[in-house]
């Protein structure tokens, strides 16, 4: 009974705390403006299946993709064993499904063990890439401090979780050997168990070891679950909705601002007084572009929480490659940090809370956003269809349309477009002079 109570308490506290953190993240995401992403459901399901579930875009870099696949599949399949752990915890039984499933049970646990070994190989490789090989895109300035610790911590937690699985299964194998000179026949533990615990001939001691593995597994799952909302690894869950709500338009097609479109239509209609129309409709003039996270769309904010900080976007960014300050990964990290800060303030102090900060200026500089070439390389490379360019463009729109700030290099071009209908300083009447024969 004590064991059951302890299990129920641990499991319930873990689930409740996780649910609260998910609520906070959902609240933060919904601070963004609405954007239509509910059409073409069949195409969206296909995109989610290929990109999130199938890991399609990961395989542009095959070695990392295969090792990541080990971790991904192991994470998904290992949850089957978690179901049995929950059943064991509630009933105070041990290996509840063994009798009912028979040989299939042995197959499933063996499969999980093989995946766990592959996941261990992938985990060690990823730790080495960050800390020994020091892959450049995983050791950039924006990853110093907490982001690097976060990446290492989650990998260490993965290793501890794998160790708990083999501790539990290995001790069970040795226990069964002592009792009946037989074996469960688990693919890895039937060999690893005797190596690790073969010298333990006391059944009680083996039971304690098995319980350490069992409770360790459960505790690590609960810690892992509740750590996710504070970590970049929340993408494990958010990758699926994020890819479902992907932008299905062609890359390079910019969206029109509804507020601008409405203003232009009013101005072009000679029968309408735009000021009177606004007054009648009760329309409040909206901010052009984005200064803070609340000016972005909920999809932009979902992107920020889904970012894995893998750096594929930044390593493919021509501006970053040529030494410019822009890093698309940093854009997403800054957006998430600012959203978390603002969301916490709004929950504590009410909807009118103002902290005097903004995404543009306090987190992202003008130099960063004007370095962008709008080439969409970052969008193309992202494994989960995150769109940093959309945020950059809206920040630029604010600077140009609200504050009339624009780099000197672009001023002449915009003047020419306004006066001549083209970026060049030639009259539209002279546009075809190049074709005239002498």
User: What CA–CA distance (Å, rounded) separates 379 from 66?
Assistant: 22
Asked if residue 165 and residue 101 are part of one domain, the reply reads: yes
> Distance between CA atoms of 398 and 290, rounded to whole angstroms?
5
Helix (H, G, I), strand (E, B) or coil at 356: coil
**Residue 24 located in a structural domain:** no
pLDDT digits (tens, 9 = 90+) for 62-91: 888 998 888 888 888 877 778 888 888 888
We report the CATH number of the domain holding residue 394 as: 1.10.1060
Q: Describe the crossing of helices 2-29 and 298-306 by its angle, rounded to 10 degrees.
A: 130
Q: Distance (Å, rounded) from C-alpha 247 to C-alpha 240?
A: 14
Angle between helices 298-306 and 328-349 (to 10 degrees): 110
pTM: 0.85
- List, for the chain, all residue ranges whose pLDDT scores fall below the cut of 50: none
Residue 276: per-residue pLDDT: 61
Structurally, the chain folds into a number of domains equal to: 2
- Determine, yes or no, domain membership for 252: no
Whole-angstrom CA distances from 288 to 64, 291, 400, 405 are: 41, 9, 9, 13
Contact at 8 Å (CB) between 108 and 80? yes
Question: Quick one: CA dihedral 406, 409, 410, 412, positive or negative?
Answer: positive
H/E stretch holding 368 reads helix 366-370
Asked if the structure places residue 29 within a domain, the reply is no
Q: Quick one: 87 and 236 in the same domain?
A: yes
In a domain, 53, yes or no: no
Looking at the fold, whether 218 and 284 belong to one and the same domain comes out as no
Helix (H, G, I), strand (E, B) or coil at 184: coil
Q: State which of 184, 210, 244 marks the end of a domain.
A: 244
**What pLDDT is stored for residue 17 in this prediction?**
93
pLDDT of residue 278: 57
The closest of 71, 32, 70, 72 to 52, measured between CA atoms, is 72
The domain of 178 spans 61-244
The reply to whether 100 and 237 lie within a common domain is yes
User: Can you give the pLDDT at residue 302?
Assistant: 96
Judge whether 191 lies within some domain: yes
Residues 157 and 301 in one domain: no
Q: Are residues 240 and 96 in the same domain?
A: yes
| 188/229 same-domain check | yes
Q: What is the pLDDT of residue 49?
A: 94
Residues 148 and 239 in one domain: yes
Residue 387 CA to residue 251 CA, distance in Å, equals: 10
CA 438, distance to chain mean position in Å, is 61
Q: What is the pLDDT of residues 266-320, one digit of tens each?
A: 777 777 666 665 555 555 556 788 999 999 999 999 999 999 999 999 999 999 9
């Amino acid at each position: 009974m004590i064991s059951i109570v302890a299990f129920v308490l641990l499991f319930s506290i873990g689930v409740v705390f996780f649910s609260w953190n998910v609520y906070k993240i959902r609240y933060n995401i919904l601070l963004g403006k609405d954007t239509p992403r509910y059409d073409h459901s069949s195409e969206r399901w296909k995109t989610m299946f290929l990109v999130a579930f199938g890991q399609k875009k990961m395989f542009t870099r095959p070695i990392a993709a295969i090792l990541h696949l080990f971790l991904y599949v192991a994470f998904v399949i290992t949850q089957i064993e978690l179901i049995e752990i929950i059943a064991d915890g509630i009933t105070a039984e041990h290996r509840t499904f063994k009798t009912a499933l028979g040989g299939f049970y042995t197959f499933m646990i063996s499969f999980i063990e093989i995946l766990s070994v592959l996941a261990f190989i992938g985990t060690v490789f990823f730790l080495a890439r960050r800390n020994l090989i020091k892959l450049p895109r995983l050791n950039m300035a924006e990853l110093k401090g907490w982001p690097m610790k976060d990446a290492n911590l989650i990998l260490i937690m993965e290793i501890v979780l794998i160790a708990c699985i083999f501790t539990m299964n290995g001790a069970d194998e040795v226990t069964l050997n002592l009792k009946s000179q037989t074996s469960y026949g688990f693919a890895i533990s039937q060999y690893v168990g005797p190596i690790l615990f073969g010298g333990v001939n006391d059944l009680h001691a083996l039971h304690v070891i098995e319980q350490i593995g069992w409770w360790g597994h459960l505790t690590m799952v609960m810690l892992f679950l509740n750590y996710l909302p504070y970590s970049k690894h929340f993408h494990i869950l958010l990758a699926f909705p994020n890819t479902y709500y992907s932008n299905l338009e062609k890359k390079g097609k910019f969206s029109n601002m509804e507020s601008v479109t409405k203003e232009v239509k009013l101005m072009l209609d000679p029968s309408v007084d735009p000021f009177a129309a606004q007054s009648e409709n009760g329309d409040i003039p909206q901010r052009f572009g984005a200064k803070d996270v609340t000016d972005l769309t909920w999809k932009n904010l979902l992107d920020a929480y889904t970012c894995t900080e893998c750096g594929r976007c930044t390593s493919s960014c021509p501006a970053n490659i040529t030494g410019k300050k822009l890093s698309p990964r940093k854009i997403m990290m800054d957006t998430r940090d600012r959203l978390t800060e603002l969301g916490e303030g709004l929950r504590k102090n009410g909807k009118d809370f103002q902290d005097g900060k903004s995404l543009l200026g306090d987190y992202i500089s003008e130099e960063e956003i004007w370095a962008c070439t709008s080439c969409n390389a970052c969008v193309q490379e992202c494994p989960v269809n995150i769109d940093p360019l959309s945020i950059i463009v809206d920040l630029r729109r604010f600077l140009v349309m609200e504050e009339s700030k624009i780099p000197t290099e672009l001023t002449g071009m915009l003047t020419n477009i306004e006066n001549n209908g083209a970026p060049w300083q030639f009259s539209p009447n002279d546009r075809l002079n190049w074709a005239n024969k002498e």
